[in-house]
Structure 1
Amino acid sequence: MNWQPCCMKTNSATDTVISGVGVITATGQGKTAVMNAWLEGRHAFDVMKRPGRQQGTSFLGAEIGDITYPEHFSKKMLRTASFTGSVALVTLEEAWNEARLSEVAPHRIGLVVGGSNTQQRELMQTCDAYRGREAFLRPVYGFTFMDTDVCGLCTETFGIRGMSYTVGGASASGQVAILQAIQAVQSGQVDVCIAMGALMDLSYWELQGFRSLGAMGSTSYASDPGGACRPFDQQSDGFIFGECCGAVVIERAETAAARNIKPYAVLSGWAIAMDGNRNPNASCEGECTVIRNALEKAGITSEEIDYVNPHGSGSPTGDATELKALQDCGLSHAYINATKSVTGHGLTAAGAVEVIATLLQMKSGILHPTRNLTDPVVPAMNWVKQTPVHHQIMHALNLSFGFGGINTAICLRRY
């Protein structure tokens, strides 16, 4: 199936667009390496080995390997940065350079970091290391334990002088950051705003909590880590964690054109809505609400959406609920794949990384495969299964949901 919409909206100088991206996952650093891994279906799932991730356990996940840092980064800064912070810096570097933000006045650039409680593993390690000798705790701990330290690292390194803050939306944090960045640009608060989904650095406490909750995958695939992450498949029993971070640059098309930048896509519609439910269970009603509201804002019908990048965490209940929402909203015809099948669930980073996946697929004209999708929960969807599919995306829908009843949706239009 190669669905094409009946018409194409005209681009405008005042469109809100994405002009640059930066991404890192366990399978690569930078958009080219990451996109190649997505298209090839390569993965990095294994028993996690990062210190502080295990305590007599064998949690599965995908961890980032060696990172290449630019020479101009301050060595002192990197020594005092958390893992979350240092990954944020290299991710922002790629987006910054692609969008040529050095040509923009620093006080007209903003940064929204999506994610709260993102440095849990390092905080736990610090507490363990200084227990019984608290008086020797490094003074920098007094501010580095805060999520806003990621903002501080990035704004100091890149000279950002506009607004900057963090927003928490659980697993929807990355996409919530994008929504906040859109508002900052459209209100005129800044000319350019970077939205980042920060890496959530889990310790064994959070991993055990997710396992006890029944949200994270069990040990069913202990002998086959590569088979454990299987969104939308009948054999899935929960999400599998994957380290990642993504950043997108948001601005008006006219400001991008002034620097001779061709945008990736137009942010044509978006929505956020709450379920009014503290618990982690998904709500079809809430998901349908944001889908319909985003489509209405974009001024398009569901028939015009030809690609969906879903939340697709691998939770049996969550996946089934999401597919019902897509069906109820008339989106069964659209191509659908699951980026988390390759990256794992990046939690606070997921929403931003998956928007980047959509943008890179839109640019390349190829949809990446969904690993391990052999027996779909709902067969009657337009799945991209084990092999890539050539398709020119015209209108895409990205979905991202979080514990506490957070639902978000974003529509992207080819520029």
Structure 2
Amino acid sequence: MKNLSRPEILVTGMGAASSVGVGRAALLDALLSGRSNFSVLSRPGRQFGTSFIGAEISDIDSLASLPERQLRIMSLSTKVALAVVDEAWRDAQLSSVDPRRIGLIIGGSNLQQRELVQTYTRYARAPAFVRPSYSTTYLDTDICAVCTEYFGIQGVAFSLGAASASGLMAVIQAATLVESGVVDVCIAVGALTDISYWECIALRALGAMGEHGSFTQPSQACRPFDRMAAGFIFGECSGALVVERADMIKRPNVKPYVRLSGWGISVDGTRSPKPSVDGEVRAIEQAMGRAELASQMIDYVNPHGSGSPLGDAVEIQALKRCQLDGARINATKGILGHSLCAAGVIETIATILQITASQLHPCVNLEDPIDPGLGWVRERAERRTIRNALKLSFGFGGFNTAICLSRQL
């Protein structure tokens, strides 16, 4: 039975941008068809005599309807954040909400590394000509500031970092702020992590980032939970979610997507990038306990599923320990790639779209699962009524997050 002492937290708006298209509709279409857009990364600053593969968003400058003068001093991450917040803002009809009661959380840190490398290279021999605006634009908080200015947000606003768990951490913090009454509405943004060749080289050396290898097509290298997986494949994404209390919604035409019924956070007490079964289990159990859901009530799990052999194996152990073997499972990163800080938000949006469409997207490239006994959605999309879903997101440094999403009846 639902805990009546807690207010209902609803998702009322969503915005998305990824390599498969801009907007919610484009994302759902690509997910259900299993369509990806992987290739050799071509954005300036991503290669240094290398051939890293991934998935990039096209036609960036058309995303935000701002004067060219303003766009020139905005980073890629900022432009895309504006676009996804704009879609979510319109979806939730926030223009009629008191701006003093709206909050904004930017999930992610060290978001603009490629932009910084480009600046250092451009002005290396003439540092006196660095533009004055760099004094603020190099900060991740500039993304937050630009969005609050553009949309007139005057409630709480800040950025947070939890490595690849940053996006889902932002969703959880947004829900907490709304539940406690600090604001009536809060927007959680998974910001685009704009990595440079430096990060690609380091992640490859660590063994975390995969490569083209022996595959004939770049799209074949991204293989969450498959025995041939050799690491994650990067994918540019950003997403925005609007959460608010059910009892505070006054706008008559707002139609909530789902209820955010539970969440959990745990840390492993380590600097290591290695995942922990115990830490993941704690986060999952917290989320299901808060949502008052037993394992057999979870119909679908959208896992972290990065394609890291170690990470995928540990996550499967955690799911089994939580008795989630019977749930249907797919891996959104197989289609979009790993968007790092934005992963938790864009994949929560993917989860919600599947719930509302009553369809689950296929597991792309899952040809030989490392554990064939789980409820994988295989080669084709599957029709399925999803009452309760679990979304997981983990990050280097022992950050573990989980949320439960429940269908609005």
* TM-score, length of structure 1 as denominator length: 0.96
1:226 alignment partner, one of 207, 210, 219: 219
- Residue 218 of structure 1 and its aligned partner are, at CA, apart by 3.0
- Residue 184 of structure 1 and its aligned partner are, at CA, apart by 1.1
CA shift digits 1:47-84 (9 cap, x unpaired): 10000000000001001111464685333221211000
SS in 2 for 1:132: coil
Aligned to 1:361: 354
Q: Structure 2 CA distance, aligned partners of 1:295 and 1:388? A: 26
- Residue 12 of structure 1 and its aligned partner are, at CA, apart by 10
Letter in 2 for 1:400: S
Aligned to 2:77: 84
- Residue 34 of structure 1 and its aligned partner are, at CA, apart by 1.0
More divergent stretch after superposition (184-193 vs 114-123): 184-193
Aligned to 2:185: 192
Q: Structure 2 CA distance, aligned partners of 1:351 and 1:259? A: 30
Segments of structure 1 that go 5 or more residues without pairing to the other structure are 1-7
Aligned to 1:24: 17
- Residue 300 of structure 1 and its aligned partner are, at CA, apart by 1.2
2:371 alignment partner, one of 371, 374, 378: 378
- Residue 220 of structure 1 and its aligned partner are, at CA, apart by 1.2
Aligned to 2:91: 98
1:340 alignment partner, one of 333, 337, 356: 333
Matches within 5 A, 1:14-413: 14-67=7-60, 69=62, 72-221=65-214, 223-256=216-249, 258-413=251-406
Letter in 2 for 1:165: F
* TM-score, length of structure 2 as denominator length: 0.97
RMSD: 1.5
Kept in 2: contact 1:234–1:376 (CA 8 A) = yes
Letter in 2 for 1:290: A
- Residue 242 of structure 1 and its aligned partner are, at CA, apart by 0.2
SS in 2 for 1:113: strand
Percent of residue pairs bearing the same amino acid type: 52
Cα separation, partners in 2 of 1:10 and 1:259, compared to 1, 3 Å:
farther
SS in 2 for 1:277: coil
Cα separation, partners in 2 of 1:62 and 1:11, compared to 1, 3 Å:
farther
Q: Structure 2 CA distance, aligned partners of 1:147 and 1:319? A: 30
Letter in 2 for 1:284: V
Once superposed, which parts of structure 1, at least 4 consecutive aligned residues long, lie more than 6 Å away? Answer: 10-13
Cα separation, partners in 2 of 1:167 and 1:389, compared to 1, 3 Å:
same
Number of matched pairs: 408
Q: Structure 1 CA distance, aligned partners of 2:64 and 2:193? A: 25
Q: Structure 2 CA distance, aligned partners of 1:387 and 1:115? A: 33
Letter in 1 for 2:233: I
Q: Structure 2 CA distance, aligned partners of 1:81 and 1:57? A: 27
Kept in 1: contact 2:190–2:342 (CA 8 A) = yes
Q: Structure 2 CA distance, aligned partners of 1:136 and 1:218? A: 38
Segments of structure 2 that go 5 or more residues without pairing to the other structure are none
CA shift digits 1:278-302 (9 cap, x unpaired): 1100100101111111111101101
SS in 1 for 2:356: helix
SS in 2 for 1:184: helix
Aligned to 1:4: none
